[in-house]
Amino acid sequence: MPIVRQDAAHVLTLTLDEPDRRNALSAALLGEFVAELSAAAQEGMRAVIVQASPAGGVWSAGHDIDELPQGDRDPLTWDNPLEEALRAVRDAPFPVIAAVDGSVWGGACDLVLTCDLVVAVRTASFAITPTRLGIPYNTGRRQPLRQCPALACGPRRCSSPPIPSPPNRPPCTGS
């Protein structure tokens, strides 16, 4: 199983657990991730935390590029497992929190930034690399992490008061 599930008091922790593959987002891993989010909703979970097992400093190597279609086909169609996972996060009836320790590459950036809250260690890094493969990013709903001094939050839920920004930065609006 590419994902380890831990339940504790209405909070589900999902750990990406394929360190030998640097937690690459394969169809199998993403399918299990979507199924776990659906099960969490059925079980009445109040929040889901997504983390990754240690993989040499890599949180996730991103989309498994061996599974991308070849030729002139659109690599991320509506029914692509990564797109399904992103929709599952956006549609979840609870906050989905990304706990990041390590580097996040490619499609994993999309997954992390789709979460409602991102908590990352200071040494975490984010690399948006798909353009080298000719894959566009949907950046319309993204706010650069550098503009959010303490956290990045998704468009749906930031119920606590905003964290004040340093005087030379715009405030984090979470949109």
- Across the beta sheet with 58-60, the strand order is 58-60, 103-105, 125-127
Whether the Cβ atoms of residue 135 and residue 64 lie closer than 8 Å to each other: no
Structure-token pair, residue 121: 């260690």
From 62, 102, 106, 107, active-site residue: 107
> Catalytic: 107?
yes
From 62, 63, 102, 106, active-site residue: 63
Residues 6+ apart with CB under 8 A from 3: 14, 15, 16, 17, 29, 32, 33, 36
> Catalytic: 10?
no
Residue 62's alpha-carbon distances to 45, 104, 108, 125, in angstroms, are 27, 7, 4, 13
- Across the beta sheet with 3-8, the strand order is 3-8, 11-16, 47-52, 96-100, 117-120, 152-153
> Catalytic: 154?
no
Please identify every residue annotated as catalytic.
63, 107, 137
